[in-house]
């Protein structure tokens, strides 16, 4: 990818970039919608992501381009405003620029900027967090700033919450920022605090992208966020992470049915994250797999952020040899399913899953055999 982005930058802007940064996509391993509820989550940075190339300009113009669109989008430095239509993707780097002064940091003035990605679009692998973190590293590097990794992660979340308009938690940016090869990232979202957990040898990730709609800004994510907040208020706690399973059961008659289902999913999901960490440390992938599948069933029936396409994939995968477990990954409402498998699961088994999906829905999912990777970083040119 480095050679590709250097070549593309020269072709688009006619000169060499000064800075290159990259940030990985992520797999939400387990911990669905627990982050903004103050809970815990496990994720994995993968070996694919978003790359950003940058070169300064003296005229104050900020020019944006990407490998997925042909046009150059110019934004005056004096006006950071949300973009619509084909320019909408620039809201992620623009959100970082808008967030810098609010964090006491300085951003660059004029520049040429190019983003490239090898993440499949709409697969729930958080290309948005990856472009935010890569952009933050490039912009801060341009002004000679070397912030702590926590600062870069918080910048990405602030941009997503306050500029892009998605009320996400810290999961996506935290995993993209703190990823480590052959490890999972454990986040206590209340802190937030970030640690890593070794991934047992022989564990493999397979992603099945349904190409169904995955547009969190469109409202479903925000609706679930509101429902969780309403459930917490009804329970008299700041966040659902403050509720134990026993306390929730005792308060069931005080909640409307929808609020109870949302709260039950979150409370039980936090418990599943803790159980998964224990099983991982014991190298018990079978137990981890059972927790992953249980997480999906909870998303399916309690949080109701799954779809028939995702449910079918989980059904087929959990009936396939060498699969420990499977669940939707990301915000839900479309996107992708992650399967945790042994090394014996290969292309032949993946094709069988894809064929079963095509027989039901008429189109084949994209299949990605993902590997863990390191977190966001500047890249030597």
CA distance 314 to 204: 16
Cα 170 to its chain centre, rounded Å, is 9
Show the tokens assigned to 262: 């949302």
CA distance 108 to 18: 13
CA distance 322 to 319: 9
3-state helix, strand, coil in the chain (%, to 5): 45, 25, 30
Which residues neighbour 108 within 8 Å (Cβ) at sequence distance 6 or greater? 54, 56, 139, 142, 143
Helix or strand run (H / E) with residue 141 = helix 127-142
CA distance 298 to 311: 11
Show the tokens assigned to 266: 């979150």
Cα 30 to its chain centre, rounded Å, is 12
Question: Does the CA dihedral 17-80-66-121 come out positive or negative?
Answer: positive
Decide: 263 and 235 in contact? Cβ < 8 Å. Answer: yes
CA distance 9 to 42: 35
- For 254, other C-beta atoms within 10 Å of its C-beta total 11
Residue among 172, 218, 242, 246 flagged as catalytic: 172
Cα 88 to its chain centre, rounded Å, is 19
In eight-state DSSP terms, residue 216 is: G
Helix or strand run (H / E) with residue 198 = strand 193-198
Query: What phi, psi does 195 have (nearest 5°)?
Result: -140, 170
Query: Among this protein's residues, is 172 annotated catalytic?
Result: yes
For the annotated catalytic residues, the residue numbers are: 172
């Amino acid at each position: 990818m480095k050679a590709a982005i250097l070549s593309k930058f020269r072709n688009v802007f006619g000169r060499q970039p000064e800075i290159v940064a990259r940030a990985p996509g992520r797999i939400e391993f387990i911990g669905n919608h627990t982050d903004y509820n103050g809970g815990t989550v496990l994720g994995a940075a993968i070996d694919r992501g978003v790359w950003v190339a940058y070169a300064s300009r003296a005229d104050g113009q900020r020019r944006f381009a990407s490998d997925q669109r042909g046009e150059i989008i110019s934004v005056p430095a004096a006006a950071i405003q949300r973009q619509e239509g084909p320019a909408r993707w620039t809201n992620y780097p623009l959100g970082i620029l808008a967030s810098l002064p609010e964090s006491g940091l300085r951003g660059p003035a004029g520049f040429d900027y190019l983003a490239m990605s090898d993440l499949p679009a709409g697969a729930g692998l958080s290309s948005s967090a990856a472009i935010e973190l890569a952009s933050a590293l490039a912009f801060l590097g341009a002004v000679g700033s070397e912030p702590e990794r926590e600062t870069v992660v918080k910048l990405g979340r602030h941009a997503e919450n306050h500029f892009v308009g998605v009320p996400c938690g810290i999961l996506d940016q935290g995993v993209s920022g703190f990823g480590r090869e052959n490890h999972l990232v454990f986040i206590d979202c209340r802190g937030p605090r970030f640690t890593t957990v070794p991934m047992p040898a022989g564990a493999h990730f397979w992603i099945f992208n349904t190409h169904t709609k995955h547009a969190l800004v469109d409202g479903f994510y925000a609706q679930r966020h509101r429902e969780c907040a309403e459930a917490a208020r009804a329970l008299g706690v700041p966040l659902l992470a403050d509720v134990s399973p026993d306390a929730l059961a005792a308060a069931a008659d005080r909640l409307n049915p929808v609020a109870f289902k949302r709260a039950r999913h979150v409370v039980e999901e936090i418990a599943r994250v803790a159980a998964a960490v224990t099983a991982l440390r014991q190298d018990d992938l079978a137990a981890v797999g059972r927790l992953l599948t249980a997480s999906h069933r909870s998303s399916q029936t309690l949080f109701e952020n799954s779809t028939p396409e995702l449910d079918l994939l989980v059904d087929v995968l959990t009936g396939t040899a060498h699969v420990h477990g499977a669940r939707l990954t990301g915000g839900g409402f479309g996107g992708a399913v992650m399967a945790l498998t042994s090394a014996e699961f290969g292309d032949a088994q993946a094709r069988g899953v894809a064929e079963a999906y095509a027989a039901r829905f008429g189109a084949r999912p994209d299949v990605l055999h993902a590997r863990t990777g390191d977190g966001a970083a500047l890249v030597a040119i």
